[in-house]
Chains A and B, each alone.
Chain A
Amino acid sequence: MLEDKLLILKFNRGNREALRSIYEKYKDDLVTLSAALLTDVSSAEDVVHDVFVSFIESSRKFRLTGSLKGYLAACVANNARNRNKAGRRHGSIALDETGPAAVDSNSPEFHAIFGEELHRLSWALSQLPYEQREVLLLHSYSGMKFRAIAQQQNVSINTVQGRYRYATDKLRSMLDGEVEK
């Protein structure tokens, strides 16, 4: 947190290395989050790239009010959601906003995203409705608080907590026995 504040101070002052340090520090987590949301590594990296392009453009005016990691995670989630909606409009990715993700979650490529060890989890995540998956990942993976997620998604905190509860219940049922390993 302290390091992030310092990075942002330097970032505001146009320090190149601060930008690079921010990217180096969070890139893997952001790519992971994005890939888990979109279940596609290539699109996931495009999302992270887009987020950093916007972040760079905000250089001197950016003000950090919470956690930098949370901020970047929210940016990734917003961008991934927009990409998801755009894909749905163009019919290239048949993800339904409220229904389960209609990717081919049995494909070897999809399983290869997170490796064999976690393929059950990645498969189960892909079966969740997109918005539940987003809440679950932002909270459990990126460490965002429910209140911050509610603000980011422009919904009530009760809705966010409900999505989280539904998501964990479904994952539990799908991974019955798996999480005990």
Chain B
Amino acid sequence: MRPAENINNLIKKLQLKASTDLDRRVHDDISMALAESDKTKSARAEPNIRRTIMKSPIVKLAAAAVIIVLVVLGLFEFIGTKNTSGVVWADVVRKLQASRGLIVRCRDLSPSSGDDYSIAYTSPTYCRKDFYKDGQIIRTSYVDLTGSDIFTLLDVFHMRKHSLTTTYKKSDYGLFLELDEDWTNPSFLVEKILSCEHSKLGQKTIEGVLCEGIETTDPASMGPTPEQIDLLDVLLRLWVNVETGYPVLFESKTSAKYDGEVWEYENVMDQFQWDVELDPGIFEPNIPSDYERLTWPEVKEL
């Protein structure tokens, strides 16, 4: 007989799969409970305009674009952006707004990350993200932003062979990327840095490209935070190609003390391809026929 560790190892082999019936029950409960919560919230709170602006990724600027430009220009006037080093940051904002499509590699460097990296394809009206693990796509997310006040998120989980469609109301939740993908959207992050107190890093060469950088350590860049965060250290750093004015590298590190424990989060985005004309076909959801399709309740009226 081997020692107790072998019993532990054997016990760890126990593995059941939750049934699709349980999936439906729990997801329905989540949708219903949060819809109730939304009603209560909307009854007592006026929209927070500043927060809405902070949420807005440039890919979905539309109505918010004018306001953001005004905010950014206002900041530039205050801090003074006239420089002789090559990058005019207001131009960066404008170029990102005008970019037809973007392809970027995103890496979550946290130990608990479930994927090795993801590739995001973003157009002004659609977003798709492929998550890779060990060279295979384990999940694909599609976002349809064409609705006037709704957007749809479709997640296809390839390992579990099911898809999940969720519809959101923009006026309720702000725009998509603040919710879950905010730290992997470069356009959004440029806004974040520029709208907070930031400093210039000068120039350096990254993979043969002369770049100029800025960074912020202003916790306000994280937006409103829950009360229970005791300490919050933030570093958002952006390097832009001096010649083209497009970002080439973005790094973010967050460290927070929360209920007596410190947690850290780190992301890197690189391999940017800006102003790409993306084939609309890549945004067409591709769900294999043998996948279970789950849909969660439509947008609830507020």
Flag whether B34 is at the interface (Cβ < 8 A): yes
Contact of B14 among A4, A15, A141 (CB under 8 A): A141
- Min CB–CB distance A179 → chain B (angstroms): 4
Q: Return chain B residues, CB-CB under 8 Å to A172.
A: 1, 4, 7
Interface residues of B in 220-239 (CB under 8 A from A): 226, 228-229
Q: Is the CB of B30 within 8 A of A118?
A: no
Q: Return chain A residues, CB-CB under 8 Å to B16.
A: 28, 31-32, 35, 41, 44, 113-114
Q: Return chain A residues, CB-CB under 8 Å to B30.
A: 16, 19-20, 23, 52, 56
Q: Return chain A residues, CB-CB under 8 Å to B2.
A: 179-180
CA A36 to CA B179, docked complex, whole Å: 36
B41-58 contact mask (Cβ, 8 Å, vs A): 1 or 0: 100000000000000000
- Chain B interface, DSSP helix/strand/loop, else mixed: mixed
Q: Return chain B residues, CB-CB under 8 Å to A157.
A: none
- Chain A interface, DSSP helix/strand/loop, else mixed: helix
Q: Is the CB of B15 within 8 A of A17?
A: no
Q: Return chain A residues, CB-CB under 8 Å to B264.
A: 2
Q: Is the CB of B18 within 8 A of A27?
A: yes
CA A63 to CA B21, docked complex, whole Å: 29
Q: Is the CB of A176 within 8 A of B1?
A: yes
Contact of B18 among A1, A4, A16, A31 (CB under 8 A): A31
Q: Return chain B residues, CB-CB under 8 Å to A24.
A: 157, 160
Contact of A23 among B4, B26, B111 (CB under 8 A): B26
Q: A63-B228, A63-B259 are in contact. Are A179 and B26 (CB under 8 A)?
A: no
Q: Return chain B residues, CB-CB under 8 Å to A17.
A: 153, 166, 179-180
Flag whether B291 is at the interface (Cβ < 8 A): no
- Min CB–CB distance A62 → chain B (angstroms): 10
CA A14 to CA B30, docked complex, whole Å: 10
Flag whether B138 is at the interface (Cβ < 8 A): no
Q: A13-B226, A168-B4 are in contact. Are A2 and B31 (CB under 8 A)?
A: no
Contact of B11 among A44, A57, A63, A141 (CB under 8 A): A141
Q: Return chain A residues, CB-CB under 8 Å to B153.
A: 17
Q: Which 6 A-B pairs have the closest CB atoms?
A: A3-B112, A27-B18, A5-B263, A140-B8, A179-B6, A32-B16
18 A-B residue pairings within 8 Å (CB atoms): A3-B112, A3-B113, A9-B226, A9-B258, A16-B166, A17-B179, A19-B34, A20-B27, A28-B16, A31-B18, A31-B22, A45-B19, A45-B22, A48-B26, A118-B13, A121-B13, A140-B11, A180-B6
Contact surface of B with A, Cβ cutoff 8 Å: 1-2, 4, 6-8, 10-19, 21-23, 25-27, 29-31, 33-34, 37-38, 41, 110-114, 153, 157, 160, 164, 166, 179-180, 226, 228-229, 258-261, 263-265
